[in-house]
Amino acid sequence: MKRLMITGINGMLSQNLVKEFNHDHEIFGLDLNPGIYPDEAGIHVSIMDLNNAEAVKEILKSIAPDALIHTAAYTNVDRAEDERDIAFAVNANVPKMLSELCAELGIPMVHISTDYVFSGESGPYAETDLCDARGSYAESKLAGEQAVLASKANATVIRPNVMYGHGEQLKSSFVDWLVGELKQAKPVRIVDDQYNNPTYARRLAEVIRIVLDKKAWGLWHFGSKEIVSRYTFALKIADTFGLSSSLINAISTVELNQKAPRPMRSGLICEKMKNELDYNILSIGEELALLKEEMDVA
């Protein structure tokens, strides 16, 4: 049986990766916390600080995975303005170190980046568009993906945007939060001036399998078919789950008074993935229907 190593195994995407791969892979996870996986389930979690290059190298050599999927990241966009050094240590230095180790040990690598590498002034963006990161988080993620792509590893960088999905003990899940608030008849405020084509984590896990199976190294964008405001996305969620949209109030980003800049008119063009990997890009409605089915079963 093949072996797969996943960093940040307790996160939303990683939980979906476990579902995608655990029937035909032995899974090894690295995380700062023990997490949700029992060892007897064929999922082996090691508690580890990824900044410890020697420890990471030792475990990679001992396990010799058939692939490494790097999902771990520093994701607090506003706090990164005050913790720039930490953001760069996690988002830039760690991917660089991992890609160099993967090159040395002959391990294929998939690295998860973000649409924040673009300014967000003139989206949607294709893989060939020039990056223009704004803010410490964005700059650290751009440095990380550049290091991975410049390495000699067989490596793929995938950029999602506004990732959503389902999982256990998640720190942040927009859909779970919104559904929970609306079910309790609580009013919510959602920005109506940030535009993206959100990425469904379950489908991104499928994409990662295809990338590894096809050895499709390089840079890829993945999101849904249409680009909408965060407010419109919230309305679609309410409609999918049969909840009242009257509780959803539109506000502007300025009203939130956030420290770090946000990409306002972003979104990712997914034609390369559709054409070269033959992967169908679905509408937000189609993907939310899949998510509802997933959450009803869970």
pLDDT tens per residue across span 86-132: 999 999 999 999 999 999 999 999 999 999 999 999 999 999 999 99
| pLDDT value at 277 more than 80 | yes
How far is it, in rounded angstroms, from Cα 186 to Cα 154?
48
pLDDT the model gives residue 223: 98
CATH of the domain at 71: 3.40.50.720
Domain assignment of residue 44, yes or no: yes
Section 234-253 average pLDDT: 96
pLDDT digits (tens, 9 = 90+) for 169-219: 887 788 989 999 999 999 999 999 999 999 999 999 999 999 999 999 999
pLDDT for 40 beyond 70: no
34 within some domain: yes
User: How far is residue 146's CA from residue 150's CA, in Å, rounded to a whole number?
Assistant: 6
Average pLDDT value over all residues in the chain = 95
Residue 123 lies in a domain: yes
Question: In the prediction, which pLDDT does 296 show?
Answer: 81
Average of pLDDT values for 262-276? 96
**Could you tell me if residue 235 is inside a domain?**
no
Q: Would 8 be classed as within a structural domain?
A: yes
Query: What local confidence, expressed as pLDDT, does residue 39 receive?
Result: 66
Label residue 143 left, alpha or beta by phi (over 0 means left) and psi (-120 to 50 means alpha).
Answer: alpha
Q: Which residue in this structure is represented by tokens 């704004």?
A: 134
pTM, two decimals, is 0.96
pLDDT reading at 139 higher than 70 = yes
Structural domain containing residue 85: 2-165+198-224+268-275
Give yes or no for a contact between 204 and 163, defined as CB atoms under 8 angstroms apart.
yes
**pLDDT at residue 239 in the model:** 96
Report the candidate in 91, 70, 71, 69 with the shortest Cα–Cα distance to residue 79.
91
Q: Which helix (H) or strand (E) holds 63?
A: helix 53-63
- Whether residue 212 lies inside any domain: the answer is yes
Distance from C-alpha of 185 to C-alpha of 31, rounded to nearest angstrom: 36
Domain count, the chain: 1
What pLDDT is attached to residue 61?
97
CA angle, residues 23, 25, 26, in degrees to nearest 5: 110
Q: Is 111 exposed, middle or buried (0-12, 13-18, 19+ CB in 10 A)?
A: buried
pLDDT digits (tens, 9 = 90+) for 145-178: 999 999 999 999 999 999 999 998 887 788 989 9
Q: Kindly state whether residue 178 falls inside one of the protein's structural domains.
A: no
128: exposed, middle or buried (C-beta count within 10 Å: 0-12, 13-18, 19+)?
exposed
**Is 17 a domain residue?**
yes
With cut-offs at 50, 70 and 90, classify the pLDDT of residue 13. very high
Residue 111 is predicted with a pLDDT of 98
